[in-house]
Amino acid sequence: MVFGRAERRRKKAVEPVTLKILVAGGFGVGKTTLVGAVSEIKPLRTEEQLSEAGRPVDDTAGVEGKHTTTVAMDFGRITLREDLVLYLFGTPGQDRFWFLWDELSTGALGAVVLADTRRLEDSFAAIDYFERRGIPFTVAVNCFEGAERYPAETVRDALDLDPDVSVVYCDAREKGSARDVLVEVVQHALRMSEEQREPALS
């Protein structure tokens, strides 16, 4: 028993590694919903009501029930393991807020690009952004009710993704589903990091 107590005293508290993950995608694709569903703290949201002034530039086709929009970022946190905590930053979807992306992406391990099969073209801008900056990302197809579900390879071809980019399916409203997406992003980013560290064969 004495030995056991000594062992417990020597065991130090685990200092978790914190990682930054971006949640990106087009307008109304479910970024705020995913961050809110999975965050273990009350998420910070910067949403404003859609206005008549923004109607010409905010394409609500397919998301007619949407009445608010993120104007800066969403922020949440999730502990994946005792030693691993993710900080989540949801990006604004409209082009006019893209000046914020460079600041939000600084120090990011990886990213989720949420996609809606009814509006796949809205994903291109985020995909291009992360490809140009070498930030590992996973495409997560948010399965909206009434949206047709296509095979992952069909989505991959439509988005012209590199073979190493993961394509997964999720329901952004469900905590477990959103958590699985984040686990995939972390695993993908770590794989990419390891491959970059491997010495080239002569």
How do the domains of the chain map onto residue ranges? Answer: 14-197
Spatial strand order of the sheet with 68-81 comes to 44-49, 68-81, 84-90, 17-25, 110-115, 137-142, 167-170
What is the pLDDT averaged over residues 149-157? Answer: 95
Tokens (6 digits) for 76: 């949440």
Place of tokens 């796949």: 120
What is the C-alpha R_g of the chain? 19
> What pLDDT does 201 receive?
53
Q: Which alpha helices (H) appear in 99-174, and where do they start and end?
A: 101-105, 124-133, 152-159
Residue 180 has pLDDT above 60, yes or no: yes
What is the pLDDT averaged over residues 110-114? Answer: 97
Residue 166 has pLDDT above 50, yes or no: yes
Per the model's pLDDT, the better-predicted residue between 12 and 89 turns out to be 89
Residue 151 has pLDDT above 90, yes or no: yes
Residue 160's pLDDT band (cuts 50, 70, 90) = very high
Residue 14 has pLDDT above 80, yes or no: no
CATH code of the region 14-197: 3.40.50.300
Task: Report helix, strand or coil for 16.
Answer: coil
What is the pLDDT averaged over residues 86-113? Answer: 85
Tokens (6 digits) for 1: 């028993």
> What pLDDT does 27 receive?
86
Residue 95 has pLDDT above 50, yes or no: yes
